[in-house]
């Protein structure tokens, strides 16, 4: 494996674990606000991010590459309202998309087709993540200022259940 691709994937493991921390922080925010459905949605999001980290971890191991675990930063977003959380979520997903794209570009440059194929799933996943984040913002803009609408949206998000990724390594 190309050294730069290896380094970027190792960094991505850390970034995915950070994403899980960030989403747990978002879940805490909503739990404290009494919106257990939103809290549930972000707890499940955190689980997905941990799974993504483990997929990268397992990929490096399968490729006989060293995995180096680094310290995970503490989330530092200042959350003052519900929309701050949702907008920070979208901003973060766009950032993660850029990270995946950077790894893909390096793999392409190195003609590392196996890594490119592995990353294809993440490229698609990031499209879904950005869509979900945009949809949550749209729904909050439409219904969030109405207590009944916010209640219904919270109920919708409470129904989300965890589903493990279906990527085969």
Domain boundaries, the chain: 3-158
CA-to-CA dists, residue 105 to 58, 60, 100, 110, 152, angstroms: 21, 18, 9, 9, 42
- Statement: the pTM of the whole predicted model exceeds 0.85: yes
List, for residues 21-55, the tens digit of each pLDDT value: 999 999 999 999 999 999 999 999 999 999 999 99
Average pLDDT over every residue of 143-160: 92
Q: What is the pLDDT of residue 168?
A: 60
Q: CB–CB of 169/121 below 8 Å? A: no
Q: What is the pLDDT of residue 169?
A: 61
Fold of 3-158: Ferritin (1.20.1260)
Q: What is the pLDDT of residue 162?
A: 86
Q: What is the pLDDT of residue 154?
A: 94
Q: How confident is the model at residue 165 (pLDDT cuts 50, 70, 90)?
A: confident
C-alpha 83/C-alpha 71 separation (Å) is 29
């Amino acid at each position: 494996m190309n050294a730069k691709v290896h380094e970027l994937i190792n960094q991505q493991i850390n970034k995915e674990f950070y994403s899980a921390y960030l989403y747990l922080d978002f879940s805490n925010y909503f739990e404290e606000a009494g919106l257990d459905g939103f809290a549930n949605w972000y707890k499940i999001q955190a689980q997905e991010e941990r799974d993504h980290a483990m997929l990268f971890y397992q990929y490096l191991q399968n490729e006989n590459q060293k995995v180096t675990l680094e310290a995970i930063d503490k989330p530092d977003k200042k959350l003052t309202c519900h929309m701050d959380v949702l907008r920070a979520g979208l901003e973060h997903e766009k950032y993660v998309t850029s990270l995946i794209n950077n790894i893909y570009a390096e793999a392409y440059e190195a003609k590392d087709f196996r890594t490119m194929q592995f990353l294809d799933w993440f490229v698609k996943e990031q499209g879904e993540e950005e869509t979900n984040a945009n949809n949550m913002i749209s729904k909050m803009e439409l219904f969030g200022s109405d207590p009944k609408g916010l209640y219904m949206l919270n109920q919708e998000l409470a129904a989300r259940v965890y589903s493990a990724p279906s990527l085969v390594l």
